[in-house]
Amino acid sequence: MSRLGKKKSRSMITGARSAYTRTFTTTGLVGEAGFEPAISGLTTGALGQTELLSEVSWEYVIKRPTRRQEAAADILSYLMATVFILGRLPELSRAEINAVLGDPPATLLSPDVLRLNRAAAESAQLLARLGGTVKIGVIMAPEFSPAAVAEDILREADAAGKLNFGLSWYGKPKAAARRLAAGLEVKKILKAGGRSCRLVTSQDAQLSAVVVRKNHCREYLVLPDQSLARTLAVQDFVDFTRRDVGRPHRDLKSGTLPPKLARIMVNLARLPAGGSLLDPFCGSGTILTEAVLAGVGTVAGTDISERAVTQSLGNLQWISRQYPTAAAHWQVQVADARKISTALGAQRFDAVVTEPYLGPPRRGRESKTQLENTLRELAALYREAFHEFHAVLKPGGRVVFAQPAFATGRQLMTLPIADDIRRLGFAQQLGPLDYARPEQYVVRQLTVWQRA
C-alpha cells in the first residue's frame, strides 16, 4: 500500500469514480480519523456513511496526519485503485496505458495484472480506447472472501431477475476444486439472502472476455495479492474481430496489422487533442482506421501502391459508415515514403505511425545471406524514410515504428538502425518491444521516437 503523506506534513487522497454508485465501507475509519473533504462532490456531510456517486471527484486533505490518519489514507488510496488485466503482450499493454493516462503511478501485481494507484474515470470508455487491455476493474477489498463478494452483490446488483456471477483468479494458480468451492460459498450466502443467481464457471482459472460478455456476467477478480476487485468493463472482442476480418479490403500478401496492435501503436503516439497522424506506408489502412476510431483529428495516409491507396480509401469509407460518430478528417494519396515531404507540401504532423514495407513474404526456407541482404535493403529504405519523417513532423512530434526482425530457429536477426535514427535528430522514447504470434517468421519490433 502507498504511504500517503508519510514524509509530507499533510495527507491527501484524491480520486474520481464513475459509472456506478458504491458505498465506501471504510469511510467510517476516515471520518473517525478526522479527514475533511477538501472539495465538494460528496453526497452527505457525515463521512461515516458517505456515498460516492458516479462522476464525483473527491479529495481529502489533512494537515500533519497522525499515524491512524495515515493508515486510513493508505486503506482509502488502496481501495481507490483500478486494476487492468493486460492482453497477450503485457509490456506493450502497459506502455499503451502509460501513453493514454500520462504515466500514472502503478504497481505490477503479476506480468498481466496492473494496479493503478488511483480510480479510473469512465472505465468502459477507457477500455474502448485501448487495444491491449482485456478488462478494467475496481479494487473493492484488500482481501478476497466469499462473504465480501456476496455482500457486494446483495448491496448493489439489481435485485430483479436471476443474476449471473463468476470469479476469476489471477496470480498463483489455485486448485479448480478450491475455486469452485469459493464460488459455491458465495452462491450459498446469496441464496440465504434471498437472491437467485447462477455461478458462471470455466475450465480456466479466469473467465475469458468472451464468457463474461456472453453470459452478461458480473465478474469478481481475485488478484495476485489476494485483493478483491470487480470488473467494470470488458474488451469488445467482437468489434475488433469485425474490423479485422469483416472490413472490405485486406492485403494478405503484403500483410495487414491486427487492429488491436494498430490501436496500440496509435495510442503510443501520445497525440494531443485534435492532433494529426500520418501513415506513409498505409497499405490497406489499418492504422488509419484505428486512428479515426481513437478520435485523432486529422488522419493522412500515403503508399507507393495505387492499389493500397484504393484499399485504404475503401476501408476508411466502410469505417465511416459503420461508426458514424467517428469524426476525423482523413486523406489518402499515392506517394513514395522517401519523397513524402514533396508530396505533402507544407503539411506538418504531430505523429508518424507506421508499419513499413517488411520485405518479401517469408516462407521460412530463406538462407541467412538472403535474410541479411533483405535487412540491408530495408535499413536503407528506413533511413531515407526517417529523413523524410523528420521533415514532415512538427518539432517534438513522434514516430511509432514497427520494424521487422527475422526469427531463424533460436536466433532473431534485427535491423541495426537505431544509431542512424538518432543521428537524424530523434531521441528513442520506447522499445524495441516485440510483437509476434507463435510460429511467425517475422517479428514486429515496436519503437517510439521523438523528433527534436
Tell which one of 10, 338, 348, 394 touches ligand SAM (CB under 6 A).
Answer: 338
**143: burial class by Cβ within 10 Å (0-12, 13-18, 19+)?**
exposed
**Of 72 and 353, which CB lies nearer to ligand SAM in the complex structure?**
353
Output the nine-digit C-alpha cell for 255.
500483410
**Rounded-to-integer distance, Cα 36 and Cα 343, Å:** 60
Asked if 404 interacts with ligand SAM (CB under 6 A), we say: no
**Rounded-to-integer distance, Cα 19 and Cα 233, Å:** 10
Residue 208 CB neighbours (<10 A): 15
**282: burial class by Cβ within 10 Å (0-12, 13-18, 19+)?**
buried
State which amino acid sits at residue 250: R
**Of 41 and 314, which CB lies nearer to ligand SAM in the complex structure?**
314
**Rounded-to-integer distance, Cα 440 and Cα 364, Å:** 9
Nearest approach in angstroms of CB 308 to ligand SAM is 4
Nearest approach in angstroms of CB 357 to ligand SAM is 3
Asked if 283 interacts with ligand SAM (CB under 6 A), we say: yes
Q: Are strands 197-200 and 163-169 parallel, antiparallel or unpaired?
A: parallel
Nearest approach in angstroms of CB 304 to ligand SAM is 4
How many residues belong to the site for ligand SAM (CB under 6 A)?
22
Binding to ligand SAM in span 294-333, by CB under 6 A = 303-305, 308
Closest CA to 60 of 105, 27, 82: 27
**Rounded-to-integer distance, Cα 244 and Cα 148, Å:** 40
Asked if 92 interacts with ligand SAM (CB under 6 A), we say: no
Nearest approach in angstroms of CB 359 to ligand SAM is 9
Q: Tell me how far CA of residue 428 lies from CA of 115, 328, 398, in angstroms.
A: 27, 28, 10
8 A C-beta contact, residue 371 and residue 406: yes
**Of 338 and 387, which CB lies nearer to ligand SAM in the complex structure?**
338
Tell which one of 234, 266, 287, 294 touches ligand SAM (CB under 6 A).
Answer: 287
Tell which one of 18, 82, 93, 286 touches ligand SAM (CB under 6 A).
Answer: 286
Closest CA to 35 of 14, 55, 67, 60: 60
**Of 96 and 355, which CB lies nearer to ligand SAM in the complex structure?**
355
In the bound complex, which residue of the shown chain has the CB atom lying closest to ligand SAM? 283
Tell which one of 27, 69, 168, 284 touches ligand SAM (CB under 6 A).
Answer: 284
Nearest approach in angstroms of CB 295 to ligand SAM is 19
Nearest approach in angstroms of CB 355 to ligand SAM is 4
Asked if 80 interacts with ligand SAM (CB under 6 A), we say: no
Instruction: Output phi, psi for 162, to 5 deg.
Output: -85, 140
Nearest approach in angstroms of CB 337 to ligand SAM is 3
Asked if 290 interacts with ligand SAM (CB under 6 A), we say: no
Site string for ligand SAM, 246-275 (x = CB under 6 A): --------xxxx------------------
**Of 112 and 355, which CB lies nearer to ligand SAM in the complex structure?**
355
Question: What long-range pairs does 89-94 form, CB within 8 A, spacing at least 24?
Answer: 89/132, 89/433, 89/434, 89/435, 90/114, 90/132, 91/433, 92/132, 92/261, 92/264, 92/433, 92/435, 92/446, 93/130, 93/132, 93/133, 93/264
**Rounded-to-integer distance, Cα 103 and Cα 114, Å:** 13
Q: Which residues bind ligand SAM (CB under 6 A)?
A: 254-257, 280-281, 283-287, 303-305, 308, 336-338, 355-358
